[in-house]
Structures are given as structure tokens and as C-alpha cells.
Amino acid sequence: MVRVRFAPSPTGYLHIGNARTALFNYLFARKNKGHFILRIEDTDTERSKKEYEIALIEDLKWMGLDWDEGPDIGGGFGPYRQMERLKIYRDVAEKLLKEGKAYRCYCSREEIEERNIKAGKNASAGYDNRCRTLTEKERGKYETEGRRPVLRFVVPEKDITVNDIIRGKVVFESKHLPDFVIMKSDGLPTFHFAVVVDDYLMKITHVIRGEDHLSNTPKHILLFEALDAPIPQFAHMSMTLGPDKTRLSKRHGATSVRAYREEGYLPDAFFNYISLLGWGTTESQDIFAKEELIEKFSLERCQKSSAVFDPEKLLWMNGYYIRKVSAERLLTLSLPFLKDAGLIKDTLSEEEKKYIEKSILLEQEKIKLLKDVPYHIGFFIKDPVYEEDAVNKYLGEEGKKVLSELFVVLERCDYWTVSSLEEKVRKFCEENNYKPSVVFHPLRVAMSGKTKGPGLFEMLEHLGKEKVISRLRRWI
């Protein structure tokens, strides 16, 4: 069975690049009816924070991902947080030590650098494998000095070939690879060691991750071999760049999933857009429903060249999804934004829900981000915020005069529907020799506080007679 994992370090909010790694693992697992596993790599104890783990899980769920095994739900191969697996790493390290595949190294960084310089190399040239051949006596001396050793892996001298699903065959020489640390002196595993032990014991079949990890893969393969473990298939995805073709970073604006979520992107739009970062079908299609992505996804169609994250296209796609989504779902998605804006309470009656749903429906075409919903429909719920320019332009003496005449007509109108309102207002224009715009603009501004919005008569109908009359009163 296919078993893949997403293995984030909880040192910050979920980044777009990592979200894509998670998504591709998810799509691959679902397509192959395998397991998608969430593993938290929290051995960087200084930078890892519980709150980031919580946020990661929230954001992954928001994107529409779910997993079969993970720290929050457990599973048959746990624990799923590396800090809860320390005994496992220590036991495996002990085994490598016994088999002579690892050794204790007592050198300090300074000593290593000094020797490198003496040997005419760069200070940071790497380790010279000195402790590989320590005698019992030398070892004993270091121990009595109270030095706390690290554990280094004995790197065999051979070429390593990575058969990468996306990149093809990549050959690395291990001749120049120094014996690297697998357990630190504080008893924590290094990243390389923990990843391999976990992938092995969690029976991971495919390692799908960013290209930045390709150079780590030879080390990982050597470790798998030393453990007599099956070597998973590797697929290293291209990096994600910003629109200016440099690596996606804060300079490009929001880079965390959370920021996009808070801006009011739809999870479905986000899911769809992220799936296109470095993957695509031959037909250059760009709108995909989740089920379709699962069906069509393949690692073979992931591109080798970098993917470019284009916020403009994401925004466009979001607008597309907002126009397409059902009014009911749009309401559900908009509620947190309306709450934040102080427009609604925590609980709504069915009637209130219906009213807000219709308000959103009238503006659905114009909404690009959920964050903008309060701006678009706020006036339906609370007194409008009157925009100064709009008031100056349309609610001067002339506008007010027109509205006071119209007031009489509307107050008498009992049949409050779009068509009868339109008929009455148009008739009023004709009888008084007003161009429609002379009446429509002031009316719109008096109702909504602004010059743009839904169809005028749809707006009047939906506001209802009571609100319309009371808003007119304010201006006459």
C-alpha cells in the first residue's frame, strides 16, 4: 500500500511551498488509495512551538486535507511527533554503533576547524573522520575529560544514485561526504537520522518533498542501507518562486496559508490554485474540482522547472470560485468575516440567515475576497457608512429635494416588489420630468452610503419598506 507523509517542522505558519508539498502528498495518497500521514518534526526544540503545530493542523484542515495517521488522531505507526520518539532513535543509533556503522566522536567544532586549517583546507570544510579510528585508550581519555560525544555515521565510499520520479537519475559521489552526525551530544537525533528512522519504521513508500532536500537524499539512502531498510521512492518537487522568479519569500507579500485564509480566500480556490504549482495536465486546464485532481494527479506530470506563484491568478481564481459557489456555502464561509466586522452576533435565527444569504447573493458577482463581504453587504444589516464623496455628490440640496418628493410615493407603496418599485419610481421620474439618474443616484446613496452596489430595485426590495423609509427620513 502507498504510504506517504507530510513532515513539517512546527517553527512557523504553514508556508505556501509546504502547503504544496502537503497537497501533492495528499493527492498522491488519495489517488492510490494509500495512507497520508502527518508527522511533526519538532526536534529543533528552540524554534518548535506547540502553537505552530496547532496552527499547522488548522490550516491543513482549512485547505481541505485530511490524514489517516497523525499526532492528533494516532495510528498504527506512532507516535507521530519526533520528540515523542526519542527512545526509538536512541535504540536504532545504539544498534548502528554495535554494528560498527556509527561511532562516538568527541571533537569540538573548534578542534575540527583548526585541523582543517592546518591541513590547508577551509575551516568549514567538514569533518576529517578522526574519531573513526580512535583507540580504546583515546576514547577512555576523552570520557574521563567529561566530553560528551556525538554519534557519527560511517559513510561508505561509493556513488549513490537517486532514482527520482520527477528528476530522473541523479548520481552523487560519496567520496567527499564526511561522516555525518546522527545523534547530537544532547541525545537528540539530527534531522537526517530522524527522517530516515521514521520513514523506515512508518513504512513510507514514497518520499515526496521539495527539491531543497535532494542534496540530503544521498545521506538518507546510505542510512536506509545501513539499517537494511527498503529505500522509498523519491520525488523532489521544484521550488516555488515569486512572480519575479526569486525564491518565494516575505518580500512577495503574504506567504503563509493563514494570511490567505484571513484575507478571505476560499479553501477550494486555494486548493485548486496550489495544485497547479508545478503540476498540470496536458490540456492546460486550470479549474479542477478536488475529486478531479485526485483522479488526474500523477508525480510523472510534475515539472522539473520551478513553479511561479502568481497572487494575481490566485485572486482571479478566488473570484471565479466565489461566483460559482452556492449561496448557502458562501454564507457559511462569510459568517466569520461578518462577525469580525461586528455586523452579526454569534448565533443567527433562520430568518436572519436567509436575509444575509440573500444580501450576499445580490453582491456575489462583485466579491473577490470574503474579507470584502462586510463592505459589500454591511448596509443591508446596519445603518450605512456614508461615504463622504458620494454624499457630497448626490445628497446636496437637489438630491434631498428629489428624495423628499419620492418619499411620498414610496411611503404609499404597499406592494413592495422589484417590479412594482421600479414601475413607481420610473413613473415618478416621468411625471416630474426628472432624468432617471437624478433620482436613482441620490436614492442609492441614501440607502447604501455608496455609489456602487446591487441593482437599485433589488436593493430596495431586499432592504424592505421599513428600512427604506427610515433611511429616506434621515435625508429629507
Residues that bind ligand GLU (CB under 6 A): 7-9, 41, 195, 209, 213
Which residue among 250, 353, 393, 401 is the active-site one?
250
Distance CA 413, CA 411 (A): 5
Sign of the alpha-carbon dihedral angle for 335, 380, 378, 359: positive
Whether 250 is a known active-site residue: answer: yes
Return the ∠ at Cα 102 (arms to 98 and 108), rounded to 5°: 130
Q: Which is nearer to ligand GLU, 75 or 336 (CB)?
A: 75
Compare residues 42 and 461 and give the one whose CB is closer to ligand GLU: 42
Helix intervals (H) in 371-435? 373-381, 388-394, 397-412, 418-432
Q: Do the strands 150-153 and 3-6 form a parallel or antiparallel pair, or are they unpaired?
A: unpaired
CB of 7 to ligand GLU, least distance (A): 4
Spatial distance between the Cα atoms of 207 and 2, rounded to a whole number of angstroms: 11
Neighbouring C-beta atoms of residue 394, cutoff 10 Å = 23
The grid coordinates listed for 371 are 474579507
Q: How far is the CB of 140 from ligand GLU (least distance, A)?
A: 37
List own/partner pairs for 119-126 with CB under 8 A and 24 or more apart: 126/178
The three three-digit cell numbers of residue 346, written as one number: 454569534
User: Which is closer to ligand GLU, CB of 240 or CB of 359?
Assistant: 240
Nearest approach, Cβ of 120 to ligand GLU (angstroms)? 35
Q: Which is nearer to ligand GLU, 41 or 461 (CB)?
A: 41
How many residues are recorded in the chain?
476
How far from the centroid of its chain's Cα atoms is residue 448's Cα? 35
Pairing of strands 102-105, 150-153: antiparallel
Strand intervals (E) in 195-232: 206-210
Q: In terms of CB distance, is 42 or 363 closer to ligand GLU?
A: 42
Task: Report the amino acid identity of residue 2.
Answer: V
115 vs 213, beta carbon nearer ligand GLU: 213
CB of 9 to ligand GLU, least distance (A): 4
Least Å distance, CB 166 to ligand GLU, is: 14
Please list the active-site residues: 250
